[in-house]
Structure 1
Amino acid sequence: MPNRPVEIGPAGLHTARAIQRLRLVRGLTQHQLAVRCTALGRPMANTALSRTERARRRCDVDDLVALATALGAPPASLLLPLPSVSGDDRRGY
């Protein structure tokens, strides 16, 4: 029986968007961020980063820590949703 890929859930989708958003805020290209992760000891190609940001590739814990460090942010900031400006959305994702 062939393996079926595991669907990326709401937390994974949020994390993918948060990585991209923070990368753009920092003014980094995907290539630059991938180079930073590699320099931190977590080799990452910019194609892997692109797939992560588009939620086509899972972001494991080691990737998350390297990405957060390379972005100068705590890992939790990539996991937890930002508070809603309007306060209307209490779902968290």
Structure 2
Amino acid sequence: MSEPMGPLGPAGRNLRRNIRRLREHRQWSYREAEARLSKAGRAISTLGLSAIESGERHVDVDDLVALAAVFDLGIEELLRPPAGCDTCHGAPPAGFMCLECETSALPTA
């Protein structure tokens, strides 16, 4: 039996936003993304993709690798904060979270 997952952290929030942004930019329906993931060897249902994008489902390492392959990106690119945020440009001050895009920066020591 698996333990309940906690809320998404900053990387998880970045990932879910990036997946949605990339899927929509490429004009892929959930079904199209599901088919591409299945072809890549990692089936994620349309319901699963929707749950990932809404932050209701966590992504495991195998999902992350498949998503990176399908979008032809490196894993780090999928986890990167959104540079397109007009408020923080993907780089809020250390120790703060942007209320617009929810990107947070670790405090400096």
Q: Compare relative contact order (CA 8 Å, sep 6+) and give the higher one, 1 or 2.
A: 1
The two structures have a TM-score, normalised by structure 1, of 0.83
Which residue number corresponds to residue 47 of structure 2?
A: 47
Q: Indicate if the aligned counterparts of 2:68 and 2:74 stay in contact, CA closer than 8 A.
A: yes
**Equivalent-residue separation in structure 1 for 2:82 and 2:28 (angstroms):** 21
**What is the rounded CA distance, in whole Å, between the counterparts of 2:85 and 2:7 in structure 1?**
29
Whichever structure has more helix as a proportion of its residues is 1
Task: Pick which of 82-91 and 39-48 moved more.
Answer: 82-91
Q: Which structure's CA Rg is the greater one? A: 2
Structure 1 match to 2:17 = 17
Which is worse superposed, 65-74 or 21-30? Answer: 65-74
Moved over 6 A (4+): none
**Aligned-residue RMSD, C-alpha:** 2.1
Structure 2: which 5+ residue stretches go unaligned?
A: 98-102, 104-109
Render the CA deviation track for 1:17-48: whole Å, top value 9, x for unaligned.
Answer: 10000111111111111111111111111110
Identity of aligned residues (%): 32
TM-score for both structures, normalised by structure 2: 0.72
Unpaired segments of 5 or more residues in structure 1?
Answer: none
